[in-house]
Amino acid sequence: MERWKGRVALVTGASVGIGAAVARALVQHGMKVVGCARNVDKIEKLAAECQSAGYSGTLIPYKCDLSCEEDILSMFSAIKTLHQGVDVCINNAGLAHNEPLLSGKTDGWRNMIDVNVLALSICTREAYQSMKERNVDDGHIININSMGGHRMVPSADEHFYCATKYAVTALTEGLRQELREAKTRIRATCISPGIVETEFAFRHHNSDPEKAAAVYESIKCLKAQDIASAVTYVLGAPPHVQIGDVQMRPVEQVS
């Protein structure tokens, strides 16, 4: 991770859970981290904690609604003005709604596509263009995916969400191929966790907190820090090593 000191990383969905853990880890390793979310109060608190802890990097909160392309483009413009550009892009933001295929609301489906697929793709495009215009040839784009992007969960509430995560799997491999065609050494990686104990289930099952709690009580889950460790492992790999897909589950998780 030594070569990343002082360089700029963007972490989407950085206010809680995996995003917050990744942002903290990168700041510990000396990076300038732009952490974005719709609500930056928690990111501001995390930034203060990182500063108090004496971490060598910095965390810069940025308010951004990832379902709005104008917000994303404005964020990248601000990063260019203030920090020259993005060297590492961590597409972490994602959400799920209980909207089955046979009875789900179109608005819920659209919101999942907007954040899980389109926002990820827009951020990827803008990060690559930022690297290209500055002749950065060792950048890295990491998509935080899900095991739901590799097998279908047998639950109607999860099916559309899984479809968006299958898209992330395909987009990451497509990105890798396009980067090779462009003859760049910029790398693309997909990290696919199983069950991680965060606020995700409580947001997903917001009308049934007992169901959400049961998700995390059934087995010893992964922690957000486990995913952050995977991110730093991937970033720390030698520049000639392409780690394409990291799948990680709790030992007790069946599928």
Whether 212 shows a pLDDT value over 80: the answer reads no
What's the whole-model pTM score? Answer: 0.94
d(CA 191, CA 208): 28
215-221 mean pLDDT: 83
Give residue 204's pLDDT.
Answer: 66
Higher pLDDT, 81 or 200: 81
Question: Please, what are the domains in the chain?
Answer: 2-190+225-245 (3.40.50.720)
Tokens of 244: 């394409």
Per-residue CA distances from 117 to 42, 85, 144, 146, 238 (Å): 24, 22, 12, 13, 29
User: What is the DSSP code string of 167-196?
Assistant: HHHHHHHHHHHHHHHTT---EEEEEEES-E
Whether 127 shows a pLDDT value over 90: the answer reads yes
Give residue 211's pLDDT.
Answer: 73
- Catalytic residue chosen out of the listed positions 55, 128, 161, 166: 161
What's the mean per-residue pLDDT of the chain?
A: 95
H or E element, residue 9: strand 8-12
Whether 206 shows a pLDDT value over 70: the answer reads no
Q: List pLDDT tens digits, range 33-83.
A: 999 999 999 999 999 999 999 999 999 999 999 999 999 999 999 999 999
Give residue 253's pLDDT.
Answer: 84
Contact 120, 69 (CB under 8 A): no
Whether 91 shows a pLDDT value over 70: the answer reads yes
Label residue 86 left, alpha or beta by phi (over 0 means left) and psi (-120 to 50 means alpha): beta
168-188 mean pLDDT: 98
Whether 236 shows a pLDDT value over 70: the answer reads yes
Catalytic, 233? Answer no
91-110 mean pLDDT: 97
- 142 — pLDDT class (breaks 50, 70, 90): very high
139-157 mean pLDDT: 95
Give residue 200's pLDDT.
Answer: 75
Q: Output the CA torsion sign for 60, 61, 63, 64.
A: positive
**Secondary-structure percent of the chain, ordered helix, strand, coil, rounded to 5:** 50, 15, 35
Give residue 214's pLDDT.
Answer: 78
160-177 mean pLDDT: 98
- 205 — pLDDT class (breaks 50, 70, 90): low
Go through 123-146 and write b for each residue having 16 or more CB atoms within 10 A of its CB, e for each that does not: bbebbbebbeeeebeebbbbbbbb
